[in-house]
Amino acid sequence: MDLKEIEKKWQARWEKAKLHGFDRKSDAPKQYILEMFSYPSGAKLHVGHWYNYGPTDSYARFKRMQGYNVFQPMGFDAFGLPAENYAIKTGIHPKDSTEKNIATMENQLKAMGAMFDWSAEIKTCEEDYYRWTQWMFLKLFEKGLAYRKEAPVNWCPSCNTVLANEQVVEGRCERCSTVVVRKDLTQWFFKITEYAEELLSGLDGLDWPEKTKNMQRNWIGRSTGCEIEFATEQGEKFRVFTTRCDTVFGVTYVVLAPEHPLARKLTTPEQAEAVEAYIEYASKSNEIERLSSTREKTGVFTGSYAVNPVNGKRVPIWLADYVLASYGTGAVMAVPAHDERDYAFAMKYGLPIEKVIEKLGGETQLPFTEDGIMTGSLEFDGLVGEEARDAVATYISKLGKGGKKVNYRLRDWLVSRQRYWGAPIPVIHCPTCGIVPVPEESLPVKLPYDVEFRPDGKSPLAKCEKFMNTACPKCGGAAQRDPDTLDTFVCSSWYYLRYADPKNVRAPFEREAVDRLLPVDTYVGGAEHACMHLLYARFFTKALRDMGYLDFDEPFKRLVHQGVILGPDGNRMSKSHGNIVSPDDYVNEYGADAFRLYLMFGFSYTEGGPWNDDGIKAVARFLERVEKIVLKADEYRTKRDEPYGAAEKALDYARNFAIQRVTKDLEAFSFNTAVARLMEFVNALYKYDGLENKNASLMKAACKDLILLMGPFTPHFADELWEQTGGKGFVLEHKFPTEDPTALVLDEKEYAVQVNSKIVCKAMIPTSATNDEVQSLALSLPEVVEKTAGKSVKKCVVVPGRLVNLIVG
């Protein structure tokens, strides 16, 4: 059959029958199956899209055939840097190029034959969506979860914008790989740190890849320790954070980050010049230099001293950029004897080193950073590890100088971007009232079309007077809008909620609608979002829950990452490698069904791998084999007395085994083995068909099951065969076959027969045989007799249905 022709035909019929949408009236159990929505930066779908969406759609179809009311929406993550950068390069307005790309991609997605519910489509760059993105911002602001502050931020000099921590990879911009520099800017942040603890603990209950959960755990970076207050001789106080308060008696100096608020205050006149020079030096270094752990440590003495609260010792206060202003308190106590960094620093600057921990049963070599016995620590001497830290922390809190403290590595999420193509931040800056949120009823703050978006280091919107000049909603006086736009990750942090109620004009969604459809049952997308989108979306869900807009804790119950399809040369597909495989070429030649089926069969879904032409030919051949046998069986005439013997039993076994395993494999996203089971089933059909005297009814019934089993994998092909063999309605409307357990019970099974753990022969043994019977049967086999001659059986292990092992000697 001509797969391309039938695809068009069936797509039209499906659409006419409104076969694919979510049934909002049905009371069947729901399944919300979601693929990460598309980013329309390129004009066409690439292999990665197909790999994400094709197999997942097969899973969705499978669930639908199992009787679930499946919701599988699709949309476009349409705002963002790539579209804008493309615009800068070509002069084509991002709105125009994005809309054009979306139109193309919509057509291609439909050609894929996926059962997306297009009635729920979302485009984040449209007013009726970003209006509610802005609303989210206002709600977070009201709740104190959005705030503006001046802080050292990551600035990409090429993209001309600030970036979130999560978007800086090894000191470089995630998008363009330019080395990021630090700038002090006043920016909007979301207080994701408020949820650090729950974002961490919530991971335990999620059916997500362990690796992804661990990445989030590391990113959140919970660390338990102790805060300790040091007083300076000038009467200032500051706190340090340490995870090793059992070493506090070994403090020989303290270090503040160069950006620490007390840095200049504590500097003595004699040191002022050196300190100024150092602060200047530290502020100039970029992220890469600063983060490198191999870089030699630098620092400067402030000239001042602080007092160690536990022993009254006077220790010098230094500044050094190996202490980060943004973590803990921005200050640390230095114990060179028991910390590698402090040790290196002390060696370089000739600071004293004092050992206060002894290795248990061994010689203590400095720096000694493991747990050990406290020494030189007054009444704490002799305590070890956790117990020691507990005692010291308790003592410190009794002194009123601090106590136990939990810190997180996670920082607040910086959401302002000095870019054009995004949702404007709905805030007005009034000279008399200060920051005034745009009233809800005035949303959306529309993104103007006529804007000079070529970058010059300022927000493009700042140059658009029509946009900027407005009246203060509070006092009515002349005021200015915020010239920045929101990070695109804000748009994608709640889209899965909007799908549930996509046309709502009164609210982003009704609580009832999201509570019914969510959480997402299975979410499928790339692993690169582990610490960005997937973390932000969890934060949004929790914040919205606490504001009373929804009633669940986690947005995505189960998460699956598809692997990456590489170019035929084993490298990532890219223009520079010249190894891009175009799905269109293959779809045109073999059809969407064959292409999807190959993506499922040729790779381990979560692994991916290099593209290979031969595989798709093999899959096309398989479809031809299916068509041939099914149509042939359809011609057979059923008789009154059809044979039913061993051959029939074997075929029925193959059929039910396939049903059982395909069901299991699909559930587990193990598409390659599921297809392998289908192939085995087809091989069994051919084998049976080669016999003289056939049971036509059984053949027909088996082929009917085959078509239904194929339904999720190759939807057009299956419907065509279904129709050609007289089936009613669409395959999708039928129940996915369930296995008949009695057909899977065999009278006898092949055992591997071992003597002293080595395989001697195979033997068919009745399923009903007891272990003793299996043993004596095995002993009677000629091969066994030969190997055991003159020896006695010392032990016999029987694994029912599989193996018997005779230990003789």
Binding residue (CB under 7 A) for RNA from 21, 48, 157, 221: 221
774 binds RNA (CB under 7 A): no
Min CB(604)–RNA separation in Å: 3
Q: Which of 397, 504, 672, 725 binds RNA (CB under 7 A)?
A: 672
Question: Which two three-digit tokens encode residue 418?
Answer: 């000095």
The answer to whether 483 touches 462, Cβ cutoff 8 Å, is: yes
- Does residue 795 touch RNA according to CB under 7 A? yes
Stretch that binds RNA, among 36-44, 238-246, 385-393, 452-460 (CB under 7 A): 238-246
**By CB under 7 A, is residue 679 in contact with RNA?**
yes
Nearer of residues 584 and 627 to RNA, judged by Cβ: 627
Q: Is 756 in the site for RNA (CB under 7 A)?
A: yes
Under the phi-then-psi rule, with left for phi > 0, alpha for psi from -120 to 50, and beta for the rest, what region is 169?
A: beta
Of 272 and 764, CB closest to RNA? 764
Question: Exactly one of 191, 341, 404, 429 binds RNA (CB under 7 A); which one?
Answer: 341
Judge contact between 33 and 521, C-beta under 8 A: yes
The alpha carbon of 766 is separated from its chain's Cα centroid by a whole number of angstroms, namely 49
| Residue 273 in contact with RNA, rule: CB under 7 A | no
- DSSP lists the bridge partners of residue 609 as 565
At CA 45, angle to CA 44 and CA 47, rounded to 5? Answer: 135
Residues 243-262 binding RNA (CB under 7 A) are: 243-244, 257
Residue list 155-184, contact with RNA (CB under 7 A):
169-170
Residues 321-336: b if buried by 16+ CB within 10 A, e if exposed: bbbebebbbbbbbbbb
The SS3 assignment for 467 reads helix
For RNA, the closer of residues 89 and 758 by Cβ is 758
Q: Site residues for RNA, window 610-649 (CB under 7 A)? A: 610, 612, 614-615, 617-618, 621-622, 624-625
577 binds RNA per the rule CB under 7 A: no
Asked, as a colleague might, if the bond just before 712 is cis with ω within 30 of 0, I would say no
Per residue in 731-770, is it b (16+ CB within 10 Å) or e — as a string? Answer: bbebebbebeeebeeeeeeebebbbeeeebeebebeeebe
Nearby residues of 285 by Cβ (< 8 Å), 6 or more positions away: 321
452 vs 528, beta carbon nearer RNA: 528
The two structure tokens encoding residue 108: 């291609």
**385-424 residues near RNA, rule: CB under 7 A:** 407, 409
Between 299 and 422, CB nearer to RNA: 299
DSSP characters for 68-126? Answer: -EEE---EE---SHHHHHHHHHH---HHHHHHHHHHHHHHHHHHHT----GGG-EETTS
By CB under 7 A, the residues from 296 to 325 that bind RNA are: 297, 321-324
Query: CB under 7 A: which stretch of 460-468, 482-490, 518-526, 602-610 binds RNA?
Result: 602-610
Does the footprint of RNA cover residue 539 (CB under 7 A)?
Answer: no
Q: Does the protein bind RNA through residue 670 (CB under 7 A)?
A: yes
Alpha helices in 602-695 (DSSP H): 613-635, 646-667, 671-689
Rule CB under 7 A: is residue 432 a binding residue for RNA? Answer: no
Using CB under 7 A as the criterion, what x/- string covers residues 13-42 for binding RNA? Answer: ------------------------------
Q: Measured from the CB of residue 643, what is the shortest distance to RNA in angstroms?
A: 21
Of residues 149 and 211, the one with the C-beta less far from RNA? 211
Residue with smaller CB distance to RNA, 218 or 234: 218
Residues 726-755 that bind RNA (CB under 7 A): 750, 752, 754
Q: CB 289 → RNA: shortest distance, Å?
A: 8
Which one, 116 or 688, has the nearer CB to RNA? 688
User: Is 607 a binder of RNA (CB under 7 A)?
Assistant: yes
Residues within window 51-90 making contact with RNA, judged by CB under 7 A: none
Give the relative orientation of helices 583-590 and 47-65 as an angle to the nearest 10 degrees. Answer: 50
Contact region for RNA (CB under 7 A) — 103-111, 218-226, 533-541, 546-554?
A: 218-226
DSSP state of 8: H
Distance CA 342, CA 334 (A): 6
How many alpha carbons lie under 13 Å from residue 62 in its C-beta half-sphere? Answer: 23
In which element (H, E) is residue 509 found? none
Shortest distance in whole angstroms from residue 589 CB to RNA = 14
Closest listed residue to residue 522, CA positions, set 70, 123, 119, 74: 70
Read out DSSP for 238-274? EEEEES-GGGGGG--EEEE-TT-TTTTTT--GGGHHH
Residue nearer to RNA on the CB measure, 516 or 617 = 617
Which of 295, 348, 359, 791 forms a contact with RNA (CB under 7 A)?
Answer: 295
Give me the sign of the Cα torsion angle 592, 595, 598, 603: negative
Could you tell me how many residues of this chain bind RNA (CB under 7 A)? 77
Which stretch, 114-122, 418-426, 432-440, 600-608, contacts RNA (CB under 7 A)? Answer: 600-608
Q: Is 602 in the site for RNA (CB under 7 A)?
A: yes
User: Which CB, 131 or 401, lies closer to RNA?
Assistant: 401
* Among residues 177, 214, 394, 776, the one that binds RNA under rule CB under 7 A: 214
Stretch that binds RNA, among 50-58, 133-141, 289-297, 539-547 (CB under 7 A): 289-297
Instruction: Give 271 or 612: the residue with its C-beta nearer to RNA.
Output: 612
Output the smallest distance, CB 243 to RNA, in A.
4
- Residues 475 to 534: which contact RNA by CB under 7 A? 531
Q: Which is nearer to RNA, 81 or 334 (CB)?
A: 334
Applying CB under 7 A, among 111, 650, 676, 746 the residue interacting with RNA is 676
CA distance 266 to 258: 12
Residue 222: Cβ-neighbour burial (10 angstroms; 0-12, 13-18, 19+): middle
Which residues in 260-296 are b (16+ Cβ under 10 Å) and which e? Answer: bebbeebbeeebeeebeebbeebeebbbeeeeeeeee
- Asked whether position 337 contacts RNA by CB under 7 A, the answer is no
Least separation in angstroms between CB 510 and RNA: 37
Question: Residue 524, SS3?
Answer: strand
Are the C-beta atoms of residues 324 and 330 closer than 8 Å to each other? Answer: yes
Q: 208 vs 730, which CB is nearer to RNA?
A: 208
Report phi then psi at 73, rounded to 5.
-90, 170
